[in-house]
Structure 1
């Protein structure tokens, strides 16, 4: 059952081109087949993890309403069904979950890198040109309110996979990547980029210097459609628990 046993599909290696800040193109090469969870981690599977480690934590989540404000408790936000993506999981929570599931299943699960995520989401675009409008998710529901917009977006995404067989990569929830948020390397060609190897001193966002954050990708129900473009990047602080933020896991071919 998908809620407690995640399904995976292989995404073969390949390459794509992305734009650097000065208008130059950077060619990114992904060299290995990567097995992707076909949907974000579900509420059912995440609750199995919490039960297994004996966690009774029920943190307050944040919600966007013109600014970040206190939102529902974790238990209150994740009441929409065992097969619905879990929300309000921090980066550290996602790592803890991945370690637990790796022990349970005897497989080395991890979060995808930013480059791997972009390659996977570009299945609907040309892999050799900058991102076009084709990867922007169609929004039939104009509301961005919680939880109605989230549930509407997930219902649509659950019925439709991209050419790699992946559901809900964009337009449903922001999803954690394992990279620190930092400028792309200044190289014309990169292979399997991993992001900074150590924590940056800060992250620069729209002209502001902020504490270092981790990359999130995919846009969400609460953001305008263009945030779901395959080349759009964002970041969140590792301790953030937001109602528009989830995650999915991958594992490498042995």
Structure 2
């Protein structure tokens, strides 16, 4: 069984692309995985399904994604460290397996649920004011030393909900497709587009549709970890700065 922490319902204001704000209500009590899925937990799953796959992970280097370490080589820093290099599709397979094992309907958090949980450690009422100015750059934040250092800090400092490593350690998958927020004043338990968008728009570029990732990571400037920052990745991506955690609806 996973170690879970109960997060009560609540509300927050999120910033829309047109610099207006939207009230978001989270109406469900959720049990959150206290920490991201660990290497030991994921290895148990791989052993249970008899997987011998050892894919090549991607690493950010020289301003581009390049082939990096094998999955096995990237996940050698301790059983209690977050697993890295798990794609969105891999995460769904893990969720299916562990839900059957534990008799619970685990899932990934939505983007809104992730922001709400992250804001527990932020005093901002609307737009996030934490980490607005980059305080560090990619320099000195290379794999794997920066990852282990960030996790050691996060592992000792839970947020007010009792959650560890929600931001600043590694990007974490959310369930939503990446798309502009709906242009409305109030949303309750938003889940993103119901169907796969035709494409994603990112910094002036048109790209294939991707899934939301949240939380920033050891390999990005610190401000990427602020509670309102959005990012996305493709469902098949296996990156050394990308992991996941699960939630379970208590209601």
TM-score tier, shorter chain, comes to over 0.9
Which residue of structure 2 aligns with residue 219 of structure 1?
Answer: 216
Separation in structure 2 between the aligned mates of residue 23 and residue 154 of structure 1, nearest angstrom: 33
- CA distance change for structure 1 residues 225 and 80 in 2, over 3 Å: closer, same or farther? same
Shift of 1:135: 9.4
Task: Name the structure 1 match of 2:60.
Answer: 64
The aligned residue for residue 169 of structure 1 is 166
What residue number does 2:203 align with?
Answer: 206
> Does 2:9 correspond to 1:9?
no
Secondary structure of the 2:31 match is: strand
Question: In 1, Cα distance between the equivalents of 2:39 and 2:195?
Answer: 31
Q: Distance in 2 between matches of 1:135 and 1:167?
A: 21
Q: CA deviation at 1:116?
A: 0.2
Q: Contact conserved, 2:135 with 2:221, CA < 8 A, in 1? A: no
Of 107, 120, 123, 1:123 maps to: 120
2:70 — aligned with what?
73
CA distance in 1, matches of 2:75, 2:108: 21
**Structure 2: which 5+ residue stretches go unaligned?**
none
Q: How far did residue 128 of structure 1 move?
A: 3.6
In the alignment, what sits opposite 2:142?
Answer: 145
**For the Cα contact (< 8 Å) 1:16–1:127, is it kept in 2?**
no
Report the 3-state secondary structure (helix = DSSP H, G, I; strand = E; otherwise coil) of the residue aligned with 2:11. Answer: strand
CA distance in 2, matches of 1:55, 1:126: 44
Aligned twin of 1:32: 28
Q: Do the aligned residues in 1 keep the contact of 2:168 with 2:222 (CA within 8 Å)?
A: yes
Unaligned residue ranges in structure 1 (runs of 5+): none
Please state how far the C-alpha of 1:142 moved relative to its aligned partner: 6.7
RMSD: 1.7
Distance in 1 separating the partners of 2:212 and 2:49: 27
> 1:119 and 1:60 mapped to 2: Cα distance?
33
Confirm or deny that 1:91 pairs with 2:83. Answer: no
1:133, CA displacement in angstroms?
A: 1.2
Segment drifting more, 223-232 vs 119-128: 119-128
Deviations 1:45-101 (A, max 9, x none): 000000000100000000000210000000110011110000000000000001100
1:193-248 CA-partner distances (Å, limit 9, x unpaired): 00000000000000100000000000000000000000000000000000000000
Number of corresponding residues: 249
Name the counterpart of 1:47.
Answer: 43
